[in-house]
Amino acid sequence: MAAFGEWALLTRAGLILGPYENVGRLPWWLGRIAHGGPVPAPGPADVAVQHIDVRDLAAWMLDAAVQRLAGPFDLVCPVGHTTMGDVLDACVAATGSNAELCSTAPETILAAGIQPWTGLPIWLPPGEMHDALHGCDVSKALAAGLRCRPVTPTVADAWAWLQTSMTGRPSVPTAHRSGSTPTSRPASLWNARRADRAWRAVSPAVRATPAASG
């Protein structure tokens, strides 16, 4: 702001999801769930997830330019809009998978050596880091016209994009770029794959515990 003056618009977007997201967060969950079978559902299911659909972000930024808005704005959905359980349920619905979401306590995941965010994309256990990322006050952006669609169409449209971008292999998320190789894929994908294998070794009893619906 000091460099550009009082007319500068600073858009501080958090977790961006939707079609063309090639970092490996939502695509990894969609790919994992599409495989079916037991899938770790990191708890608690009602833990807040603050994200923004890339199209809602673009729409707000265009409107902000027209309105000549200035200053800093945090751009994610409000707390209470989406939960981790909502994200995973939407993945099951979008893929039409027979996957069984198995509720897994944060303590169990961490004890298995699985790292939040990188080991299991999107997910953060309750605590200071979660509150910093998923506890933003976005009232200023809402008052300035921010509108956030439900997570279900965001996930469904991301899956539809994956169907056409992965040349028949939507269950193996990759960086969407020409010449992508396993060594050039984002490290988060490989961490997530290792995390999934580690989770499978945690305990059959844990894996057999279905997640609570909703």
Least-confidence region, from 49-53, 89-93, 134-138, 199-203: 199-203
Maximum Cα–Cα distance for the chain, whole Å? 58
Helix (H) or strand (E) holding 71: strand 71-75
Cα gap 50→116, rounded to integer Å: 15
DSSP 196: H
Cα gap 44→50, rounded to integer Å: 15
> Domain limits of the chain?
9-204
Q: Is the pTM of this model over 0.85?
A: no
* Summary mean pLDDT of the chain: 83
**Confidence band of 200 (pLDDT split at 50, 70, 90):** low
50-79: string of b/e by CB count within 10 Å (b at 16+)?
bbbbbebbeebbeebeeeebeeebbbbbbe
Nearest Cα residue to 57 out of 159, 127, 138, 163: 138
Q: Is pLDDT of 54 > 60? A: yes
